[in-house]
A and B are shown apart, each in its own frame.
Chain A
């Protein structure tokens, strides 16, 4: 038995040595993305509107992440965000943001960014009285965010026999709802006090998860943010 062990001792030692060497090397940083943030002390967080209460929960999460990383969160308002279907028109680049907030977790967006789901969700809902209006009645439509399936919604609205009335601004929406009328809008829309929302059936709208978007290739930063996000969720920091 001891002879058998002796025979294998050297190869086992060699393999263990190699495994330890590889394990040690695997802890080397593959890039400078996290080191750069640490040097500057800030984490730049791009959002459509930094004062919008609808992004408050997400902003608190981002703050928690920055705190975990020992950085200061620096929100950057980018007005162009969400204004067009093509994210290229938002003019978001690496020199502006480290983390992009309010991103829908879709296959298309995953081709552009590394997405870390943050627990937020967006869907279309009906706002107004509990009973849906009868066929032929007017239904307001207010879509303030890009990326939702408008064709699916249009098909649903047509099937219900409602006459649609596009509402182009927040003021127009509020006036419409205050009159006691109903509207279809996203869960991210600000509503006047006392107005209730009701979920729509799946053939009208899908629920989209929201995520933080990070630049693909920022391996160390993504790893650290992922870990920090888990910590924040675990500690119920937000």
Chain B
């Protein structure tokens, strides 16, 4: 226990440093606000009329929700994805400016340094997800305290997995500029090919779906892990799931373990 306490203190120190950096970075905070505003207030409101009911018995969106409600959980995931993955810039920064070397020569084990950093990134990303929850009223999403609690726990798990993924990516990229381009080519395709902005109608069979969407797109969406992670948050926030929620939860749990181990292998090398 006494040997573990200094490690805990070290983890806390690294975590606190990441939190201080995230909260002092006004650019990052601004990004955390502008994304939900653009996606929910502009895109959501702009597209809502195209999905609304016009004739009883006819629907364009075969879901018991309006477009804003459908989009709301996806915007939270988008905010988390950006913050988590771009957090890896701090890893490149620390590597470039020698801070990482200093920390790694300390008595703290490598896994503890990585854990502190990832916990810091995941906390900041969860904070950005929570910011979007403030817009729940706008999207006509009514939230009970229990739902908010579940959502925050899930957002933290997702943030942790994605932050580890970001650290893995940072290990492959050696410059800030390169990472900016790389992260966008990862985040946006993952997000758009995840049934986050349009639904895969759960009442349709695979054959019927192929009539609405080309087979390659359906395959792409179904093989994208973000599809299932957005779906879990939809289940928590608006009570709608297109897939069994255990798939998304298992993917997030697996992501936490696998990406952390891969990130640890490359961390500080």
Q: Which residue of B lies closest to A88 (CB)?
A: B57
A11-B33 contact in complex given A25-B138, A94-B53, A112-B56, C-beta closer than 8 Å: no
A222-B140 contact in complex given A14-B26, A21-B33, A217-B67, C-beta closer than 8 Å: yes
A191 interface residue per 8 A CB criterion:
no
A113-B131 contact in complex given A31-B48, A219-B48, C-beta closer than 8 Å: no
A30-B56 contact in complex given A111-B62, A216-B66, A219-B48, C-beta closer than 8 Å: no
| Contact among A7, A27, A213 with B56 in the assembled complex (CB-CB below 8 Å) | A213
Q: Which residue of A lies closest to B41 (CB)?
A: A25
Contact, CB under 8 Å: A113 / B139 = no
A92-B64 contact in complex given A27-B137, A30-B140, C-beta closer than 8 Å: no
| Contact among A7, A22, A87, A218 with B131 in the assembled complex (CB-CB below 8 Å) | A22
Contacts of B33 in A (CB 8 A): 18, 21-22
Contact, CB under 8 Å: A28 / B23 = no
Contacts of B61 in A (CB 8 A): 216
A-contact bits for B42-57, CB 8 A (1 contact / 0 none): 0011001101111111
Contacts of B24 in A (CB 8 A): 10-11
Distance, CA A23 to CA B138, complexed state (A): 9
Contacts of B139 in A (CB 8 A): 30
A151 interface residue per 8 A CB criterion:
no
Contact, CB under 8 Å: B29 / A14 = yes
Total interface residues on B, using CB and 8 Å? 41
B251 interface residue per 8 A CB criterion:
no
A30-B138 contact in complex given A100-B56, A114-B66, C-beta closer than 8 Å: yes
B111 to chain A, nearest CB (A): 28
Contacts of B37 in A (CB 8 A): 25
A217-B52 contact in complex given A28-B41, A110-B64, A111-B63, C-beta closer than 8 Å: yes
Contacts of B203 in A (CB 8 A): 111
Q: Which residue of A lies closest to B37 (CB)?
A: A25
A90 interface residue per 8 A CB criterion:
yes
Contact, CB under 8 Å: A111 / B67 = no
B234 to chain A, nearest CB (A): 16
A23-B134 contact in complex given A14-B23, A18-B33, A114-B66, C-beta closer than 8 Å: yes
Q: Which residue of B lies closest to A31 (CB)?
A: B48
| Contact among A31, A94, A107, A112 with B57 in the assembled complex (CB-CB below 8 Å) | A112
Contact, CB under 8 Å: A30 / B45 = yes
Interface magnitude class on chain A: 35 or more
Contacts of B36 in A (CB 8 A): 22
Contact, CB under 8 Å: B138 / A26 = yes
A86 interface residue per 8 A CB criterion:
yes
Contacts of A112 in B (CB 8 A): 53, 56-59
Contact, CB under 8 Å: A93 / B54 = yes
A196 to chain B, nearest CB (A): 35
Contact, CB under 8 Å: B51 / A26 = no
Q: Which residue of A lies closest to B45 (CB)?
A: A30
Distance, CA A89 to CA B20, complexed state (A): 62
Distance, CA A148 to CA B218, complexed state (A): 36
Q: Which residue of B lies closest to A26 (CB)?
A: B138
A26-B56 contact in complex given A10-B24, A14-B23, C-beta closer than 8 Å: no
Distance, CA A30 to CA B48, complexed state (A): 9
Distance, CA A111 to CA B55, complexed state (A): 12
Distance, CA A207 to CA B32, complexed state (A): 47
Contact, CB under 8 Å: B57 / A89 = yes
Contacts of B29 in A (CB 8 A): 14-15, 18
Contact, CB under 8 Å: A216 / B41 = no
Distance, CA A144 to CA B65, complexed state (A): 30
| Contact among A23, A91, A216, A219 with B53 in the assembled complex (CB-CB below 8 Å) | A216
A55 interface residue per 8 A CB criterion:
no
B46 to chain A, nearest CB (A): 10
B249 interface residue per 8 A CB criterion:
no
B7 interface residue per 8 A CB criterion:
no
A168 interface residue per 8 A CB criterion:
no
Contacts of B138 in A (CB 8 A): 25-28, 30
Q: Which of B20, B63, B131, B140 has the most CB of A within 10 A?
A: B140
Query: Known contacts A88-B56, A94-B54; can you find 4 more A-B pairs with CB under 8 A?
Result: A25-B135, A88-B55, A93-B55, A218-B52
Q: Could you list 29 A-B pairs, sorted by A, with CB under 8 Å?
A: A14-B26, A15-B23, A15-B29, A18-B29, A19-B131, A22-B135, A27-B137, A30-B45, A30-B140, A31-B45, A86-B57, A88-B55, A88-B56, A88-B58, A92-B57, A93-B55, A100-B56, A111-B63, A112-B56, A112-B57, A112-B58, A215-B52, A216-B52, A216-B61, A217-B49, A218-B52, A219-B48, A219-B66, A223-B140
